[in-house]
Chains A and B, each alone.
Chain A
Amino acid sequence: MLEVRELRKEFQPLSGQPVVALGSVSFRVESGQFVSIVGPSGCGKSTLLQCIAGLSRPSAGRVLLHGREVTGPPEGLILLFQEYNKSLMAWRSVLRNVRFGLENRAGMSRVEMDAEARRYIELVGLKGFEAHYPWELSGGMQQRVAIARALVRRPEVMLMDEPFGSLDALTRIELEDALLRLWESLRATILFVTHDIEEAVYLSDRAYVLSCRPAQVIEEIEVKLERPRNQLTTREDPRFIQARRHIFELISKEMAKG
């Protein structure tokens, strides 16, 4: 359903040789799956997501969503950013931020949009904060607002660019579980980029490990752990530990090279 074929992205700096961010990246994401992309810092993970989201043109290769080539931001796909404080609209309340996700949908009245927005605000656990401004909330709460704003559109695919990267460890655990619950009830497809190996294993059905720049997929790992996952038992499961160890070794080897 979401297919990335031999994606290549070069940047031309003001002087000197072009920088190849993505060498040749290929992978598939099946509908309804939770797939992670793990790789060393600076390996082009964000660039990859921008290309998939249609925000940046690849230098070569293609992204196919349901067999159709992505040339601009496609319908049914939303990219969620790590920088929630820059992505949310500081001039809009929580309710109006979430409603933003629906505003350019034809055939919905203001009342319907507000009702739907309120429903998703409740789903992400922010009931009672509708009238607050984002900057009045903690980081974790702000990212919940951004998640609600994305999910209110009922996207088939949600791309998440290190969404919990700037949150503290406890908030992060909380949001991982909140995200899994939402994903299980809404059944969207999630492509989740992270440099946190444990996070990737904990959340995913499948993880793709990227090499250093120029990035390519060096391994595909199937995570066969039962759902619903549990922060204690899942993380203590020998299969979890084995997967983590395996990815860690792959990435260490990469980083030693780069």
Chain B
Amino acid sequence: MARFPGKGLAVLLGCLVLWEVLARQSGALALYFPPASQVLATLAAILGNGELLDHIAASLLRFAEGYALAAALAVSAGLCFGLWRPLYALFEPLIELLRPMPSPATIPIAILFLGIGDQMKVAVTVYACFWPILLNTIDGVRAIDPVLMNTAATFRLGPWERFRKVVLPAASPQIVTGLRVSLAIALILVTTSEMVVSNDGLGFYILDRQRSFQIPEMYAAIVALAMIGYGLNRLFLTLDGWAMAWHKGLTRKEEIL
């Protein structure tokens, strides 16, 4: 994704202006659709007085725990499944059944087993993030060209070296794709689970302010959530561009040819 080019930024600003103008059409409308300027001012205020920061911290911690755990589990499992086809064949029907199920449906089950605390929220986040990373890792490993594996063999690499120096780097672009898809999913599940049951976090805050009719605060928190999502994605792309520079170059070359 390219950085916002000038024209894209203009469209974004145009939408903000449109929001402002529409919201100012009537006082009644502004009650549940406050103008952008008011929402941003509210955001600055609740960030400034620290009200929102604890909730952001709570959500980000759940996000980090769930995402990291999912990445570790799914990459490991994906590598095993990818390298050992009989194992994958055994689990494929199960994976294919669970994968398309909308993951918020697991929240009630998680509440039954883990209660309403952080464990539950982290668990559903792990569950939801697991699938894209798993399937991309499996695909990445299985797509490794036999010529590359034969090269490793003719150079007499042992199993561990073969894994570390050939399988892992060769599959890494697709593993990264899975990680990127799951980044957004993690944020969705953290927010959703906080909305279902919680006493902190951005999801809780948004729903709570809506119920107590503090509408500008509700919108401000949603804007904060959008900015966090954007920031996390940018951070990810920066790391990706740095670690996977070779792959960016390679695919650019392939596009030219």
Contact = CB atoms under 8 A, between A and B. Distances in A.
A133 interface: yes
B37 interface: no
Interface in A43-97: 50, 53-55, 73, 75, 77-79, 81, 83, 86-87, 89-92
Contacts of B246: 90-92, 133
A53 B154 contact: yes
A81 B156 contact: no
B interface majority secondary structure: helix
Contacts of A53: 154
Interface in A186-242: none
A55 B153 contact: yes
Interface stretch (A6-14, A27-35, A99-107, A113-121): A99-107
Nearest to B254: A135
A78 B147 contact: no
A102 to B, nearest CB: 10
B150 A103 contact: no
Contacts of B157: 104
A104 B250 contact: no
Contacts of A78: 154-155
Interface in B219-257: 246-247, 249-250, 253
Contacts of A122: none
A136 interface: yes
Interface in B152-181: 153-158, 161, 165-166, 169-170, 172
B169 A91 contact: yes
A153 B253 CA distance: 30
A90 B156 contact: no
Contact of A73 (B145, B154, B166): B154
B150 A81 contact: yes
Contact of B158 (A77, A87, A104, A135): A104
**Most chain A CB atoms below 10 A, which of B156, B161, B170, B250:** B156
Q: Is the interface on chain B under 10, 10 to 19, 20 to 34, or 35 or more residues?
A: 20 to 34
Nearest to B172: A91
A86 B144 CA distance: 9
B148 interface: yes
A54 to B, nearest CB: 8
Contacts of B247: 90-91
Interface in B8-60: none
A89 B156 contact: no
Contacts of B172: 91
B154 A135 contact: no
A100 B147 contact: no
A138 to B, nearest CB: 12
Nearest to A93: B246
A35 B178 CA distance: 48
A50 B155 CA distance: 13
B165 A100 contact: yes
Contacts of B145: 83, 86
A89 B246 CA distance: 10
Given A86-B145, A91-B169, A100-B155, A133 B249 contact: yes
Nearest to B150: A55
B239 to A, nearest CB: 16
A81 B151 CA distance: 8
A103 B154 contact: no
Given A104-B157, A135-B249, A89 B150 contact: no
**Most chain A CB atoms below 10 A, which of B145, B154, B249, B253:** B154
B214 to A, nearest CB: 51
**Most chain B CB atoms below 10 A, which of A77, A79, A104, A133:** A104
Interface string A139-177: 000000000000001000000000000000000000000
Of all A-B residue pairs in the complex, the 6 with the closest CB atoms, nearest first, are A86-B147, A79-B154, A86-B145, A91-B246, A87-B151, A91-B169
15 contacts: A73-B154, A81-B147, A81-B150, A86-B145, A87-B151, A90-B247, A91-B170, A91-B247, A92-B246, A100-B165, A101-B155, A103-B161, A133-B249, A136-B253, A153-B155
Interface of A: 50, 53-55, 73, 75, 77-79, 81, 83, 86-87, 89-92, 100-101, 103-104, 133, 135-136, 153
Given A100-B155, A153-B155, 12 more contacts: A50-B150, A55-B154, A73-B155, A78-B154, A79-B150, A83-B145, A90-B247, A91-B169, A100-B165, A104-B161, A133-B246, A133-B249
